[in-house]
Amino acid sequence: MTDVALPAFEMDCRDWMVVSPSEAGMPEDVSGTPLLAVLSTMVVEDDIREATGALTVGIIEDDEELDTRAVAPGSIARELLDELPEPGTRRYVMPAPGQRLALLAEFVVENDDAAELDQRVERLMASFRWQVEVAV
């Protein structure tokens, strides 16, 4: 028997900060869904540009067909492709193995002419792995 444990990102702490919802001044849930963490990154050059993400847990319906694209070859994370996405918003889903649960990540990325913020978000999402604990 296996249990899905905490998720893991390969995160460069020089690029990303992780805070609890209360530390970020956000509610503990969004529309009844628990808000697990808030991720933030900034690019400081001539001005300051920021990307902020929220991690929540969701349930995938058995018959639900999600329009997605792979973030990277072999990656668990998939970008959700909305018909009418909010400008500057990137949404991702990471289904838990053998479960109907999924980790959902939604990022708000400020206009980034150099695309550095988009690249950071993509690298972070591509690094996602579920940690699976094997019961003895």
pLDDT per residue of the chain (136 residues) written in tens, 0 to 9: 445 455 667 776 678 888 777 777 777 777 777 888 888 888 887 788 888 888 888 888 876 778 899 999 999 999 998 766 677 889 999 988 888 888 999 998 877 666 888 888 998 899 888 876 655 5
Q: Which two tokens stand for residue 62?
A: 């058995």
- Domain extent, residue 8, equals 2-134
What is the total count of domains within the chain?
1
Burial 45-76 (b: 16+ CB within 10 A, else e): eeeebebbbbbbeeeeeeeeeeeeeebeeebb
| CATH number of the domain where residue 55 is located | 3.40.1000
Q: Which two tokens stand for residue 129?
A: 């792995």
Question: Is the pTM here over 0.75, yes or no?
Answer: yes
